[in-house]
Structure 1
Amino acid sequence: MDYRDRYVQGKGKYIDDLKFDDMLYMDVVRSPYGRAKISNVKGGLNASELKLFYKSSMGEMASLGGSSNSVYLEPVFAIDRVNYEGQAVAAVFGKTRYEAEDLLNSVSVEYEPLDAVSSIESGLESDPIHEGTKDNILAKAELGEDFDDNDVDFDLTLEDEFFNERIIANSMETRGCIAIYRDSMLTFYVSTQSVQSVKAGLAQALKLKPEQVRVIQADTGGAFGVKGSFYPEYVMAAYASMKYGKPVKWIETRTEHLQAAYPGRGARAKIKIYARNDGKITGIKGDVYVDAGAYDAGTGSFASRFIAYQITGPYNIEKAYMRAFSVLTNKAPMGPYRGAGRPEAAFFMERMMDLLADRLQMDISEVRLANASTEPFTSPTGLTITEPTRPFLEKALEAVNYRKVSREEKTGLAFFVLIPASRPGESARIDVTDGKVVAQLGGNVHGQGHELFVKDILGNSLQVEQDIISLSNGDTSLMESGVGSWGSRTAIAGASALMAVAEKIKQQVIGKYGKYSPEKLLSGNYSAFEFQKLDYDVNSVNFNMITAERDSNNTVRMKDWYSYYDLGHVLSPVNVIAQITGGALEGVGQMFSESLRYSEDGQLMTTSITDAGVLAADYAPNLHIKWVENGSPAPDKAKGLGEAPTIGTPAALARAIELVTRNRVKNTPIKLEDLAKL
């Protein structure tokens, strides 16, 4: 079946489409409080039976951060206290979904509400939310070397503060899984970005041998990062199947998604720059804080350092010193959302660039050109820029006709770095049977259209028709290893692995017949696997320009959206346009309306997808998509893409909006009262 039939025509098999005989349906009793003691739980499966902890399985991202203190790890079910609204307290199981929902009332929980920590500021000031800890700092780091005013050449300094509110992914399909434990073997169907990390998490949490766990990816209806994490509900369902000897299904409701899935963003920064009158920034200092939520899961402990690491972006700034803090609050743990730290860093830096341009009465492009470099460089925080950034920026400004557009329109710019999560590489597998070519990638497809470049690569390399090529969902029984699909990595790492496997297949045919031909390939059965190692960075610089206007209804809207991206080598132009379009729309949503909001007592005020601020299609701008291909060192020459529009859109749109409203934009989403001012 063609992927368009599966995803667009609704003919695929999502988790909720899968049914097994004698299946139980799981529903979860969740805390109504942001923080409370639990004095008693009666009924359902709960912590009295299942006192297991799990660690996040975020692959490369998780390995870069995290705490060794087990008190910070989220229990599968709350033990003694709950630390965010929506935290799991117990689970019930019915023969139908409706029976399971009714059984929620059979569980009795006695709570003693406590004062909740509802913001980064209160987290820094309040007593620890976890007993036995000294404060609410989950992780902290210093990047670069500290300096004082005598160490830097400057004519002026500027300071400002910024905040990006939390955002949840709200993909079309919510989270879900089916666990089947039979004959000492756990088969686990899941909507995920990485079958390998789910397998590792289940084996660890349930103390199973890896060979006892098989994870199969069902068709996955969107993810945007939220399905890259490992969640308590997976352990609940698997344990219940082991206990009851029946298949167990769990499908997340939209309310549960807002409460308990891991949101991204939630970052605050205080930035100070030192600059000369010619626009050159000679130093930058700042503090970055992220709302890590209640536990060390997802990306909470890593995100603040990752933002601080890339704060200088594509600009060659001689001195930089950043402090990074991941702060515990009584909210769901922080996870990745499309960009995962990259949009936050670009927003903070680009907003300071615009502030400097205004202070010096310089054009916003000239300030950026003054700080771009004619040589590759490494920033004081360790960010490597492998290509000159000024020539690229000059070409980008010319390509989008900036001089003319900015004279006629309210125009914003964003110049930024995309750091793909290409390390340590990725895996791929190809099976040829019955005249068909079936591929599988270690990074699982969840709506990005990977099928397009898979067909192009294998059609060209194996010299076969594309209609006999298909991309299957992830299955750990067929893949020796793999990482996952996130961080703009799959076109770089996954496609490179696929090319290597295709060459292995060709060599198998040559070894059998002495030469290769597609006819000889399709007449036999062949199989090959490869993990393509990538131990280097594939960073790229990119550019956005955006115009905004106030329409006849006095509403501020984006008008035109321009891109000039360095994509290395484009594997599929159709896929590129689709990825850019979707990412741009998510960036618009972050800027205008999307967020998760909490009351001072930790209650989630965003109670529906409408409250979450997901925009209607009429907010879509006119897209002007351009790119350049400067090949990367990866085998397939590709560079990252998927996150680029969500990095550049908020930063550029913020400037365009403030020119329309005459109000400085420092937060996302922008407040309605600021949009209304003239």
Structure 2
Amino acid sequence: HQRLAPIPLEARGCLAHYQGGQLTVWISTQMPHRVRADVSAVLGLPEHRIRVIAPEVGGGFGCKAGLYDDELVTVAAAVRLGRPVKWVETRSESLLATAQGRGQVHEAELAVATDGTFLGLRVTGLSDLGAYPETFSAVPVVLAARLITGAYRIPAASCAVRGVYTHKTPTAPYRGAGRPEGAYLIERLADLAAAELGLDPAEIRRRNFIRPEEFPYRAPSGLVYDTGRYALTLDRALEMVDYRAFRAEQARLRREGRYLGLGLSTFVETSAPSKRASGGRAGTWASGSRPSSRPRGPGRRGRWRSRDGSTGPSASSPRGA
């Protein structure tokens, strides 16, 4: 899983103002509450005297989840000087200092019966953490390890990963935060097993999916899967591409020396892994409309539609902040 740099178009930036014992921080971050907690811990200021404002963040992809040293220095300078201090990252600084993603190497063994049934999985891994850890450097490593069995019934599995420090930029969550690494590992093994046994890649997956009647299912990693209909979603995908016709066309073109590929992948996702709480407010105007507000974040229209299912008004009527 090759290391990469997120390079959001909107670079990181921070503006801090300390006056009358009150600290206000404008910062391009995905986690303003975490920033407030970290600033409080480092500078010794009570959290109720710290206000963190996350404006339109733009690109983040996980690299703006934590508090960086340069941002903390900006805030500390504002407190020390008693004057507003602003710092905006340059494009070259973004490449050199903003946390990068991936950088994991895995070696794996999958035990498979002659009928294609998965029996066991053993994984060893090496994670390049960079020169020093960022706030969430361990998150992708842990999530990748916990999801190595994917959507499949694998009775026994083990995973050992070592994190190593190098001379490179530190790593942190990026676009899936370890989930893509775990999914790629087991899906690659599924394809290799299918090729070894002469089975269709779709069929070997179908034979090993966790069945609907087996939920809730506890994986060897300890994760509990609440529900899923993996075979149904795979069959629907195959139907959409007309799988049999595609394979026939693929074979015909192969005889002509032309190569047409088709990749299959099924993945599972851990949702809402944070132990921190979030909140929102809802009320009723005299006109009967129901305003809603939430601290920050994308997906506003989706939230309105979700809320409408229980409170009634159309998605066009809410007024929110």
TM normalised by structure 2 equals 0.86
- Counterpart code for 2:35: V
**After superposition, what is the alpha-carbon deviation per residue over 1:356-411, rounded to whole angstroms, capped at 9, x for unaligned?**
11111221111111211322322212232333533443344334432323333421
Note the 1:234-313 alignment, pairs <5 A. Answer: 234-313=71-150
Count of equivalent residues: 304
Match of 2:316 among 466, 482, 492: 466
Distance between the aligned counterparts of 2:62 and 2:141, measured in 1? 17
- What is the CA distance between 1:310 and its match in structure 2? 0.9
Structure 1 residues 373 and 301: CA distance shift in structure 2, 3 A: closer
Give the secondary structure class of the aligned counterpart of 1:167: coil
Cα 1:406–1:386 shift into 2, 3 Å: farther
C-alpha contact 1:166 1:263 (8 A) present in aligned 2: yes
CA contact (8 A) 1:300 1:326 kept: no
Structure showing the higher strand proportion among its residues: 1
CA deviation string 1:501-538 (max 9, x = no partner): xxxxxxxxxxxxxxxxxxxxxxxxxxxxxxxxxxxxxx
1:320–1:381: 8 Å Cα contact kept in structure 2?
yes
Residue type of the partner of 2:305? D
1:397 is matched by which residue type in structure 2? L
SS of the residue corresponding to residue 170 of structure 2 reads coil
Deviations 1:166-191 (A, max 9, x none): 12222221111110000111000111
Aligned twin of 1:441: 294
Other structure's SS at 2:220 match: coil
Q: Distance in 2 between matches of 1:210 and 1:287?
A: 41
The answer to whether the Cα contact below 8 Å between 1:314 and 1:416 also exists between their aligned partners in 2 is yes
| Equivalent-residue separation in structure 2 for 1:437 and 1:202 (angstroms) | 36
> RCO higher in 1 or 2 (8 Å CA, sep ≥ 6)?
1
SS in 2 for 1:246: coil
* Aligned sequence identity (%): 32
Amino acid at match of 1:456: R
- Which of 186, 190, 196 is 2:23 aligned to? 186
Assess, with a 3 A threshold, how the Cα gap between structure 1 residues 441 and 263 changes in structure 2: closer, same or farther.
Answer: farther
Q: Is the 8 Å Cα contact of residues 292 and 318 (structure 2) preserved in structure 1?
A: no
- Helix, strand or coil: the match of 1:208? coil
Relative distance call for 1:465 and 1:411 in structure 2 (3 A) is closer
CA contact (8 A) 1:237 1:249 kept: yes
**Cα displacement (A) at 1:339:** 0.2
* Change in CA separation of 1:440 and 1:197 when aligned onto 2, cut-off 3 Å: farther
Contact (CA 8 Å) 2:139, 2:172: kept in 1 or not?
no
Q: Corresponding residue for 1:316?
A: 153
Letter in 1 for 2:225: I
Unaligned 5+ segments in structure 1 are: 1-163, 473-678
Pair 1:456-2:305 in alignment: yes
Give the partner amino acid of 2:248: R
SS at match of 2:300: helix
Matches within 5 A, 1:29-178: 164-178=1-15
Instruction: Report deviation, 1:462.
Output: 5.8
2:245 alignment partner in structure 1 = 404
Tell me how far apart the structure 2 counterparts of residues 381 and 417 of structure 1 sit (CA, whole Å): 14
Cα deviation 1:437-496 (Å, max 9, x = unaligned): 764434x32xx4x121233345562636725523x3xxxxxxxxxxxxxxxxxxxxxxxx
C-alpha contact (below 8 Å) 1:186/1:213 kept by paired residues: yes
Would the alpha carbon gap of residues 456 and 391 (structure 1) be closer, same or farther in structure 2, given more than 3 Å must change? closer
Match of 2:179 in 1: 342
Alignment of 1:362-441 (within 5 A): 362-374=199-211, 375-376=214-215, 377-387=217-227, 388-408=229-249, 409-424=260-275, 425-430=277-282, 439-441=292-294
SS at match of 1:291: strand
1:199 aligns with: 36
Letter in 2 for 1:427: G
Going from structure 1 to structure 2, the CA distance change for 1:453 and 1:351 (only over 3 Å counts) comes to same
Give, in whole Å, the separation in 1 of the partners of 2:70 and 2:167.
19
Equivalent residue of 1:367, what SS?
A: helix
SS at match of 2:102: strand
Report the counterpart of residue 232 of structure 1 in structure 2. 69
Relative to structure 1, is the Cα distance of residues 193 and 349 closer, same or farther in structure 2, using a 3 angstrom cutoff?
A: same
Cα distance in structure 1, aligned partners of 2:161 and 2:51: 38
Q: Is the 8 A contact 1:264 1:335 kept in 2?
A: yes
Kindly provide the amino acid, as one letter, of the partner of residue 441 in structure 1: R
Task: Work out whether residues 14 and 71 of structure 2, in 8 Å CA contact, stay in contact via their aligned partners in 1.
Answer: yes
Deviates more, 1:183-192 or 1:458-467: 458-467
The aligned residue for residue 78 of structure 1 is none
The residue matched to 2:262 in structure 1 has which SS? strand
Contact 1:177 1:189 in 2 (8 A): yes
Cα RMSD, aligned residues only: 2.4
Find the aligned partners of 2:173 and 2:246 in 1 and give their Cα distance. Answer: 35
Question: Secondary structure of 2:103's match?
Answer: strand
Once residues 99 and 40 of structure 2 are traced to their aligned partners in structure 1, the CA distance between those partners, rounded to angstroms, is: 22
SS in 1 for 2:122: strand
Mapped to 2, the partners of 1:165 and 1:422 lie a distance apart of: 25
Q: Equivalent residue for 1:325?
A: 162
Please list, as runs of the form range in 1=range in 2, the aligned pairs for 1:527-676 lying within 5 A after superposition.
Answer: none
Tell me, what secondary structure is at the counterpart of 1:178?
strand
TM-fit CA distance, 1:430: 4.0
Could you tell me whether the CA contact under 8 Å between 2:63 and 2:173 is conserved in 1?
A: yes
Would you say the 8 A contact 1:202–1:234 is kept in 2?
Answer: no
Q: Secondary structure at the match of 2:3?
A: strand
Cα contact 1:288–1:307 (8 A) shared by 2: no
CA distance in 1, matches of 2:242, 2:119: 29
Which runs of 5 or more structure 2 residues have no equivalent in the other structure? Answer: 250-259
2: CA distance, partners of 1:185 / 1:226: 28
Q: Distance in 2 between matches of 1:345 and 1:172?
A: 28
Q: Distance in 2 between matches of 1:438 and 1:247?
A: 35
C-alpha separation in 2, matches of 1:386 and 1:455: 26
**CA displacement 1:57-78 (0-9 Å, x = unmatched):** xxxxxxxxxxxxxxxxxxxxxx
In structure 1, distance between residues paired with 2:4 and 2:30: 19
2:301, 2:315 within 8 Å by CA — same for their partners in 1? Answer: no
Cα deviations by residue, 1:145-185 (Å, 9 ceiling, x for unpaired): xxxxxxxxxxxxxxxxxxx1112222221111110000111
**C-alpha separation in 1, matches of 2:144 and 2:268:** 12
Mapped to 2, the partners of 1:422 and 1:235 lie a distance apart of: 26
Equivalent-residue separation in structure 2 for 1:200 and 1:462 (angstroms) = 37
Conserved in 2, the CA contact under 8 Å of 1:263 and 1:335? yes
- For the residues of structure 1 that align with 2:225 and 2:246, how far apart are their CA atoms? 29
AA at the equivalent of 1:385: Y
**Contact (CA 8 Å) 2:139, 2:177: kept in 1 or not?**
no
Question: Is contact 2:179–2:269 with CA below 8 Å preserved after alignment?
Answer: yes
Higher mean displacement: 277-286 or 309-318: 277-286
